[in-house]
């Protein structure tokens, strides 16, 4: 059994924001199966050690699963890329900020921003650094750019199931204590710390329905690194907090957008060249450009018309009064 007291946690309850989108309004509800899980799309269970980088790790899991759903491939994405940008000075991070990071700049590959120090569990100081991450590596991370994130009702077991099923998971926070988190079947109790985890599905065990989640205390904890949380936890007051689900984009969205921007820039360059050529031709023909003087806000409409008429006549154009002008 691992020593939970020495393990990091790091989930911090979000500050309420009226701009947050609510999942039940954005997604609605669909018919759910009796059991569901994306556990088979996660290649390994990490051990965050004593660092408080849990929000970074859980959203890295989430992004890996979203990639696997689209491509069928297993990749490793960097928790440090997320945590180094969202950590609080006191340690840990708001869960919303992890979701926001994926929708703003995607996530860098683990091979480009390693989250372990020479194979050892990461320290807090190491997880806060990112000076080694290059612009090019960040650019590659935009393949895993997400569309948006929506807030799930804090204490709703059913709303969480809907989010997991429709968006392949969610990241949630929970308040707990060492004693009640010793086994895979976590229980409500004393409020000693805040934690964050990636919810991967739900299942029925001995007649009780549980949300399944992957922890980051290594595969020696719980059910090979996974845990189960029943509806009792949801109804025990304010123990569950800040659950967020991600609405993804296809991996090629950013490269395609870049391509379109390059095409627009090229079109703009061609247009500018054509305009320049036009003016050069007119200059060779001995024609001058017409420049209008700045119009004072106190100038009357009739005076503006008169000024324009005089300017055009000066350029060699003939003015023919209309019937309206003769009235």
pLDDT in tens, 36-57: 999 999 999 998 888 999 999 9
Q: Would the pLDDT of 146 be above 90?
A: yes
Mean pLDDT of 97-125: 92
Residues 312 and 209 placed together within one structural domain of the fold: no
Structure tokens at 12: 């911090």
Sign of CA dihedral 67, 252, 244, 114: positive
Residues 187 and 235 placed together within one structural domain of the fold: yes
When comparing pLDDT for 256 and 97, which is higher? 97
When comparing pLDDT for 224 and 293, which is higher? 224
4-18, 126-140, 152-166, 220-234: least confidently modelled range = 4-18
Contact in structure between 214 and 65 (CB atoms under 8 Å)? no
When comparing pLDDT for 151 and 299, which is higher? 151
Residues 219 and 324 placed together within one structural domain of the fold: no
Residues 136 and 269 placed together within one structural domain of the fold: no
Name the pLDDT band for 290 (thresholds 50, 70, 90): low
Q: Would the pLDDT of 277 be above 90?
A: no
Residues 124 and 189 placed together within one structural domain of the fold: yes
Q: Which residues pair with 230 in a beta bridge?
A: 210
Residues 211 and 296 placed together within one structural domain of the fold: no
Domain boundary among 250, 277, 311: 250
What number of other Cβ atoms are within 10 A of residue 120's Cβ?
Answer: 10
For residue 268, the enclosing domain spans 252-288
Residues 163 and 280 placed together within one structural domain of the fold: no
Name the pLDDT band for 1 (thresholds 50, 70, 90): low
The pLDDT, as a whole number, for residue 200 is 98
Total domains in the fold of the chain: 3
Residues 245 and 117 placed together within one structural domain of the fold: yes
Which percentage of the chain shows pLDDT scores above 70? 93
Name the pLDDT band for 6 (thresholds 50, 70, 90): low
Residues 60 and 10 placed together within one structural domain of the fold: yes
Domain boundary among 189, 220, 250: 250
Residues 45 and 104 placed together within one structural domain of the fold: yes
Residues 39 and 175 placed together within one structural domain of the fold: yes
The pLDDT, as a whole number, for residue 323 is 65
**Helix/strand/coil for 178:** coil
**Helix/strand/coil for 113:** coil
Residues 28 and 170 placed together within one structural domain of the fold: yes
**CATH number of residue 109's parent domain:** 3.90.70.10
H or E stretch at 62: helix 54-71
- This prediction's pTM: 0.81
The pLDDT, as a whole number, for residue 257 is 86
The pLDDT, as a whole number, for residue 126 is 93
The pLDDT, as a whole number, for residue 143 is 95
- Three-state SS string across 131-158, please? CCCCHHHHHHHHHHCEEEEEECCCCCHH
The pLDDT, as a whole number, for residue 295 is 65
Domain boundary among 250, 269, 304: 250
């Amino acid at each position: 059994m691992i020593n939970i007291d020495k393990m990091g946690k790091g989930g911090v309850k979000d500050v309420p924001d009226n701009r947050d989108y609510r999942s039940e309004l954005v997604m609605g509800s669909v018919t759910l199966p009796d059991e569901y899980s994306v556990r088979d799309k996660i290649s390994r269970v990490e051990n965050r050690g004593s660092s408080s980088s849990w929000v970074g790790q859980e959203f890295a899991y989430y992004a890996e699963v979203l990639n696997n759903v689209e491509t069928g491939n297993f990749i490793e994405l960097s928790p440090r890329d997320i945590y180094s940008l969202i950590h609080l000075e006191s340690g840990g991070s708001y869960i919303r900020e992890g979701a926001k990071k994926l929708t703003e700049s995607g996530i860098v590959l683990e091979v480009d921003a390693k989250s372990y120090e020479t194979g050892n569990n990461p320290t807090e100081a190491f997880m806060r650094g990112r000076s080694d991450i290059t612009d090019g590596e960040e650019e590659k991370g935009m393949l895993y750019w997400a569309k948006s994130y929506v807030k799930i009702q804090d204490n709703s077991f059913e709303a969480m199931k809907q989010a997991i099923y429709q968006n392949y998971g969610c990241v949630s926070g929970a308040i707990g204590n060492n004693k009640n988190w010793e086994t895979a079947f976590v229980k409500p109790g004393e409020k000693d710390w805040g934690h964050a985890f990636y919810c991967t599905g739900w299942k029925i065990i001995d007649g009780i329905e549980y949300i399944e989640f992957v922890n980051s205390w290594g595969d020696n904890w719980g059910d090979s690194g996974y845990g189960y949380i029943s509806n009792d936890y949801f109804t025990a007051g304010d123990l569950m907090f800040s659950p967020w689900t991600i609405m993804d984009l296809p991996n090629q969205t950013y490269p395609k957008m870049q391509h379109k921007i390059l095409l627009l820039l090229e079109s703009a360059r061609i247009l500018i060249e054509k305009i320049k050529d036009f003016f050069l031709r007119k200059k060779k023909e001995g024609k001058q450009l017409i420049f209008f003087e700045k119009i004072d806000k106190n100038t009357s409409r009739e005076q503006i018309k008169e000024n324009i008429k005089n300017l055009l006549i000066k350029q060699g154009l003939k003015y023919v009064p209309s019937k309206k002008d003769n009235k």
